[in-house]
Each structure stands twice: as structure tokens, then as C-alpha cells.
Amino acid sequence: MCYDLICGGEKRQISCRSIFMKIKLGTMGVNGEITKRQKILGMIGKNLILVGGNAMYALAIVLFVMPSGLVTGGVTGISIMIGKLTGIEMSYFVFLINIVLFIWGSVVLGKHFCVTTAASTILYPSFLYIFQRVFQNVVLIENDLVLCAAAAGVMIGVAVGMVARTDSSTGGTDIPPLIINKWTGFPVGTMLFIIDATVICTQLPVSSVRQALYGILMVVVYSFVINQVMMMGNGKVQIQVITSCTREIRDAVLTELHRGVTLLSGKRGLSGESCDVVLTVVSSRQLARAKKTILDVDPDAFMIVSKVGEVNGNGFSFSKGDKWLDKSDIL
């Protein structure tokens, strides 16, 4: 759809696509200077989150898991068990196992894996080494495995979720499932569960049943928290609108909410009349504004609002400006 606009005394047409370009250019600039700065700031922020996530993960292990003897999975669980048997500091084993798995993963999984996993392979054991010395005689919670499991679970969940949101990996036992999946197609999640369960079971000879059970509780907590952190700020809502003002609502969503619209063909069940269904997806923060915008156009609109787990596409998984920017569309 095109609109007639007067520019410098000359009548020109501009498409809805061009309207989005003008909106986007208001924040990025014609020469892309702000976008470049934003990319640099974004990269700095991503690296800070990556470092902070690994530091928090190591801190949770040192402050809550090791003093309480909680059983855990992954490279950490293996290293704690070997450390108890040998008396050697666990951070050395974490570093050694991580390096071996990283080299294996790099050979099999390629360049992208190296880039996203290299930092955590070094950062996590390094923070463990530092924190074990800084907090050597610190015991925050005594004789309360429930609180230790809860605190460690929340901290580990937030930490791993933060790292995952930077499109990076914590490495360790995340690597073998990825390799096995590439070779055989075996599901990554299932393989990861099998490995963690095996690691937990192997620790039973050096831990009590009580510590093992609360360790499993900790795993459940951090698994839940990881999912919440991964979804945080990414909530999307799908809105379907059945209305007699299809054109006006479509234009309002495009120009006021700056969201895309799809028109679906429908048929009214009672009258049998054909109708259009306006479909759009907005962020959770935009929901109240979207409902008001739609109802301002048609107070009698029939609206269906549904929560969406994931959205991929223009304006969600990639920037509208990056995909739509065309200087020929600029007034």
C-alpha cells in the first residue's frame, strides 16, 4: 500500500516499507554511524555479560556447592569427585577436562564452536582458582542443604542463562552431546541428561544420599532458572483481530505500533460471511498499547491474545533496519 505525501511542494508516493525506514533512520542515522557505535557497545556488553556469568557460576560452586558437599553434574561434578579422591584442587581438573573437550569439539564442530566456547573454557576454571583462594575460609550457610541447593541453583541458573544469551557456551559436558548429535543425530538434551545422571551416580560413593538428593534439587532449580533467564525480556504476544475495519486496523498496527501484519481469510460461523483476520505479533511491553490502538479504531473488534514461546523473522530475530534499509526509499 502507498500513501500520497507532499514534499517540497511536490507530490510523492511512499510505501509502508518506506515509513518503517524513516522510523528506523530516526534512531540510526543515514550514514549508519549510530548503528556502528551501538554494535561496538553491544559487543562490549556481551563480553562483560560473558565474564560476569562465568564469575557467578564459579562463585556459586565455591560458596555453596563445595562447602556443603552437594552432588552436581557436568565437568564440575567430575572434578569435585576426583578432587575428593586425590586431594588435589578441583580447579586444575576443571581446566584440564575443559581443554581436552574443547580441542575435541573444535576438531569435530568447527570454527563457530571455537569462537563461542573458547572464553568460558578459560574463564570458568580461572575464576574457580581465584575464588577458592579468596573465599577459602568463608562459609555462608552451615548445615542447611536446602538453602545451599536453592542459592546455588539460582546463581548457576542465572549465570548459565547469561552466558547462553550471549550466544556462547559454557563448554564442558555440553560438548560431547553436540558431537554425538552431529555423528548420530541423537537428541542433545537427552544425551546431556544421560551424562549428568551418570556423573551424579558416580559421586555416590564419596557423598551421602542426602547430599545427592539435594544435589538433584539444585539441578532442577538451575534448569528452571536457566529457562526463565533465556526467555527474560523476550516475551512475545500474538494478536488476532476479527473486525469490520480491517484496513484501518492494519494501517494503525503498521504506522503506530511499527509491527508487521498478516491478513488471513476467515468465514463467520453464524452468518457464513467471508472476513479478514488481522494477525500481528508484538512484544509483551507493547500489548497494552496494541489493544488500545486496535480498540480506538474499532471498539467492537473481536480480539484473541496468545502468548508466543518464540518468534523468528523481521523485527524479532533480526533488525528491521538491517533487512529493510534501502536508500532509494528515503524521502
pLDDT at 89 over 80: yes
| pLDDT confidence bin for 315, thresholds 50/70/90 | low
Radius of gyration over every alpha carbon of the chain, rounded to an integer in angstroms: 26
Beta bridge partners of 282: 237
* Model-wide pTM > 0.85: no
pLDDT at 239 over 80: yes
pLDDT at 208 over 50: yes
Q: Please tell me the class of the 236-309 domain.
A: alpha beta
pLDDT at 321 over 80: no
Interatomic CA distance for residues 157 and 224, integer angstroms: 7
Interatomic CA distance for residues 319 and 331, integer angstroms: 21
- Residue ranges, comma separated, of all CATH 3.30.70.120 domains in the chain are 236-309
CA-wise closest residue to 172 among 247, 73, 90, 259:
73
Query: pLDDT tens, 104-152?
Result: 988 888 877 777 788 888 999 999 999 999 998 888 887 889 999 999 9
Interval 81-109 mean pLDDT: 89
* Set of cell numbers at residue 64: 555453596
Query: Phi-psi category of 310—alpha, beta or left, where left has phi over 0 and alpha has psi -120 to 50?
Result: beta
pLDDT for 180: 86
Output phi, psi for 228, to 5 deg.
-65, -40
- Order of strands, sheet of 236-242, starting from the edge strand that comes earlier in the sequence: 262-267, 274-283, 236-242, 302-308
Interatomic CA distance for residues 27 and 257, integer angstroms: 16
DSSP 192: H
Q: Taking each helix axis as running N to C, give the angle between helix 111-134 and helix 33-60, from 0 to 180 degrees, rounded to the nearest 10.
A: 50
pLDDT at 197 over 90: no
Query: pLDDT tens, 17-44?
Result: 444 344 444 444 444 444 778 788 888 8
Query: Phi-psi category of 287—alpha, beta or left, where left has phi over 0 and alpha has psi -120 to 50?
Result: alpha
| pLDDT confidence bin for 8, thresholds 50/70/90 | very low
